[in-house]
Amino acid sequence: MNYIMAFLFSGFVCFLAQMIYDNSKLTPGHITSLFVVLGSFLDLFHIYDKFVEIFHAGALIPITSFGHSLMHGAMAATEEYGIFGIAMGMFDLTAAGISAAILFSFLVAIIFKPKS
């Protein structure tokens, strides 16, 4: 069941993005930036948390989840550090993804050759 929910949510978010891409001059860069902000916004009232509860990986995999994680980490740290917590906790949940992206991108660039 989890698999079906994940499939549906992830598929829907991608479908939405594709509609925007095909009907506007926005680039993937624009659309992903928009969606990341959307993810942050949806965490404002804990809406995205509900998505994760219901759709599991389906909600965790689109770039919207990146915004949600940044927001989540920031908010969690404010409980301990007040306003400073926003900056201090921001990367708590997203450190893994970004670190991995940088490391593996570097390795790929060292090992492979661009093909065209």
Partner 1 sequence: MDRKEYDQLAEELKPSGHKVRNGLNAFLYGGVMGAIAQGVLELFMNIYHCSEKDATPMMSITLVFVACLLTGLGIYDNIAKHAGAGTFIPITGFANSMSSSALDSKSEGLILGIGSNMFKLGGTVITYGIVSSALLGVIRYAFTLFG
Partner 2 sequence: MPSHFLGNSVKLDNVYIASTGTTCGPLEFLGPLGSYFDKGYDDYHCGEKSFEQAERKMLRDSLDICLKREKMKPKDVDIYVGGDLMNQITTVNYLARELPQPFLGIYSACSSFCLSMAVASLMIEGGFIDQAVSMVSSHNATAERQYRYPVEYGVQKKATTTFTATGAISTLLSNKPSDVRVESVTFGRVIDYSQDDPNDMGRAMAPAAYDTITTHFQDLKRSFQDYDLVVTGDLSTYGHKILKEMMQRNKMDVVRYNDCGCMLYDLTKQEVFQGGSGCACSGLVTMGYLYPLLKEGKYKRVLIVATGALLSPVMTAQKDTIPCIAHAISLEVVK
- Is residue 21 involved in binding partner 2 (CB under 8 A)? yes
Task: Considering the complex, state which of residue 111 and residue 115 has its C-beta at the smaller distance from partner 2.
Answer: 115
Tokens matching residue 6: 């994940």
Distance in Å, CB of 50 to partner 1, minimum: 14
Q: How many CB atoms lie within 10 A of CB 62?
A: 23
Out of 11, 28, 82, 97, the residue judged to bind partner 2 by CB under 8 A: 28
Out of 15, 23, 53, 116, the residue judged to bind partner 2 by CB under 8 A: 116
Residue 98 and residue 70 in contact, taking contact as beta carbons nearer than 8 Å: no
Distance in Å, CB of 25 to partner 2, minimum: 6
- Chain position carrying tokens 């948390």: 49
Number of residues that bind partner 2 (CB under 8 A): 8
Residue 39 and residue 73 in contact, taking contact as beta carbons nearer than 8 Å: no
CB-based burial of residue 78 (10 Å sphere; 0-12 exposed, 13-18 middle, 19+ buried)? middle
Q: Which residues bind partner 2 (CB under 8 A)?
A: 21, 25, 27-28, 113-116
